[in-house]
Structure formats: structure tokens, C-alpha cells
Amino acid sequence: MDLTEEVETMLDAYAQAATKHSSEHPTGSLPMPGRKSVSAALNTASSIATVVRSAHRELDRLRMDDTIFPDGRRRMMTELLADAEDKTKEKADQAASQAQVARALFVVDAFPQLTRTRELVARQDARMILDASPDPVTALARLALRQDDIGALVVTAWGADYLTSRGCDERQIREAQRAVIGMALNGARDQGADEERSAAARGVMAADSAEGLAGAAGQVAHTLLNSFARRYGITREGPPKPRDPRRPAAPTVLGEEVEAYQF
């Protein structure tokens, strides 16, 4: 497989994954404000392909340019590849952060919001149920399925604090929290009494998928840029040395501007 075929094959595979995401999690059906963050994450992740293709095109142009002295060509290729690596990593990190912001927004809206009075009553009821159980982790998970005040309570820090009081270690608590929140979100998604909460729970799934796409885009870029380095004989033992300002600068790849995300 030649380099161009490898580039297009891997980027096409990513595009197919993005299409599948859009089919399973239509962005337009997600509630605001999380929808905006999911859309931003998808756009940022997809723009990584532009940087990779631009880097490939510019590296190949430098390779074919017989007017450049070999040392200058090697330096320009090294600088250009480093530029592409920095930009693709920055975009992948930004896309993941945008997806995480979206998830946090959706999670808040997926669970019932408790007043202080309702929370106090829920604490008393939850403690009564959990104190009677020899297996607090399993009991907590069962309560998380309830789409009521108790279910909303146990997914908060209160649930983790209760498990600590029952002697659970940090690992058990982290695993229990992950399972409890997942079960509660599934319950919120499937319940039919509150469509807004159901939509928010679906948004969490969409945000998780978008974060996965961000990671996949970053990994595709990393793999292809490594292939570029091997194909063009670019050594990367450390950061490129500062360029002598009297010498021509290397071309820059497209997509170099990554706008800061506004939280």
C-alpha cells in the first residue's frame, strides 16, 4: 500500500465512524446547550483530516523540489512534521474537552433536581434501605435505577460518601460510581414520564461517542504522521532546533488556527 492509499484508507475509516455516530446520535435532536458543545467537538475532530492531508501534500512537494539543498529540505520537512503533530494533538485534545463539557451539561439535566427538603427526605429513605443491605454497592446500583428522588440522590457525591462510611476502598467507589451513573442514565433515557430528561440522557451517550471520535481522530493522525516520518526519512530525536531567521521557513499546514473554546 503506497502512502497516499494509506492516508485515504485511514481517513475514510474515520469518516465512516463519524457517519455512524451521526446516524446513531443525530446532533440536531440533542437539547441545548450541550448540543452546541457536541457539534463543536465533532467539527474540531473532523478538521484533523485537513491538517493530515495538508501535511502529506506539503511534504511530498518538498520531496520533489530539486531546487532546495538537501540539508534545507530535511530541516523544512522536520519543521513541517512537528507543526502538523502539534496541531493535530491540539485539535484532538480540544475536541475531547468539548465533548466532556457537553457530557457534564447533559448529566445535570438527566437527573431530577432536588430541593433541600426533598434531598433531606431522600437521604433518610436511602440510608434506611442501604443500612439494611449487606452489599451496599449492589444496593446502591439498584437504587440508581429508580427515577425518583432517591435515584437522583445516590448518583451524587452522597452515594460515594455513603460507600466510604461502609468501608469501601477508592477503587470500589470509583467502579461503583461509574456503574451507578451508567445505570441511572439508562433509566433516565428509557423512562417516558419526562422527555427532557430522556433527551439529556441520550445527549450523554452522544457526548461519550463524540469523545471517542476525538480520540480516534487523534490516533489516526498520530499513525499517519509516523508513516510520513518513515516514508520521507524524517528523524525526530527531539524538538526541531530554532530556525536561523536568515533561512527560509518551512511551509505551514492548513488548519493551523485552533480557536479557543468558550466555556
What's the pLDDT tens digit per position in 144-174?
887 788 888 888 888 889 899 988 888 888 8
**Alpha-carbon distance 188 to 127, whole Å?**
22
In a domain, 99, yes or no: yes
* pLDDT confidence band for 13 (50 / 70 / 90): very high
Mean local confidence (pLDDT), 41-59: 94
Distance CA 117, CA 128 (A): 17
Q: For residues 122 and 90, state if they share a domain.
A: no
Percent of the chain at pLDDT > 70 equals 88
pLDDT classification of 215: cutoffs 50, 70, 90: very high
Co-location of 95 and 134 in the same domain: no
Q: For residue 10, is pLDDT > 50?
A: yes
152 and 137 in a single domain? The answer is yes
Give me the mean pLDDT over the 88-109 stretch: 93
Task: Work out the average pLDDT over 77-96.
Answer: 93
Does 28 reside within a domain?
Answer: yes
**Number of domains comprising the chain:** 2
How does the average pLDDT of the chain come out, rounded? 85
**76 and 174 housed in the same domain:** no
Say yes or no to pLDDT of 108 above 70: yes
**73 in a domain, yes or no?**
yes
The answer, yes or no, to whether residue 251 has pLDDT greater than 80, is no
Q: What's the whole-model pTM score? A: 0.76
| Residue 152 and residue 53 in one domain | no
- Residue environment code for 17-38, b if the CB has 16+ CB neighbours within 10 A, otherwise e: bbeebeeebebeebbeebbbbb
The answer to whether 201 touches 186, Cβ cutoff 8 Å, is yes
Q: Would 141 be classed as within a structural domain?
A: yes
Specify if 222 maps to a domain. Answer: yes
Which residues contact residue 20 at a Cβ distance below 8 angstroms, ignoring those fewer than 6 apart?
none
Of 174-178, 184-188, 189-193, 221-225, least confident by mean pLDDT is: 189-193
- The verdict on 75 and 99 lying in the same domain is yes
Answer yes or no: is 260 within a domain.
Answer: no
Note whether 103 and 222 are same-domain residues: yes
For residue 220, give its domain range. 3-111+214-232
- Distance CA(251)–CA(263), nearest Å, equals 32
Averaged pLDDT for residues 242-247: 57
Tell whether 97 and 170 lie within a shared domain: no
pLDDT of residue 3 exceeding 50: yes
pLDDT at 241 over 70: no
Maximum average pLDDT range among 145-149, 223-227, 246-250: 223-227
pLDDT (0 to 100) of residue 113: 81
Residue 249: predicted pLDDT: 60
Percentage of the chain lying above the pLDDT 90 cut = 46
Q: Is there a single domain that holds both residue 99 and residue 120? A: no
CB distance 59 to 109 below 8 Å: no
Do residues 110 and 188 touch, judged by C-beta distance below 8 A? yes
What CA–CA distance (Å, rounded) separates 117 from 123?
Answer: 10
Estimate to the nearest angstrom the gap between the alpha carbon of 5 and the chain centroid.
27
**Does one domain contain both 9 and 92?**
yes
Which of the residue ranges 24-33, 66-75, 127-136, 189-198 would you say has the lowest mean pLDDT? 189-198
Instruction: Label residues 139-162 b or e (16+ Cβ within 10 Å = b).
Output: bbbbbbbebebbbbbbbeeebbeb
238 within some domain: no
**The pLDDT of residue 261 is above 50:** no
Task: Give the integer Cα–Cα distance in Å for 124 and 250.
Answer: 67
Asked whether residue 250 is assigned to any structural domain, the reply reads no
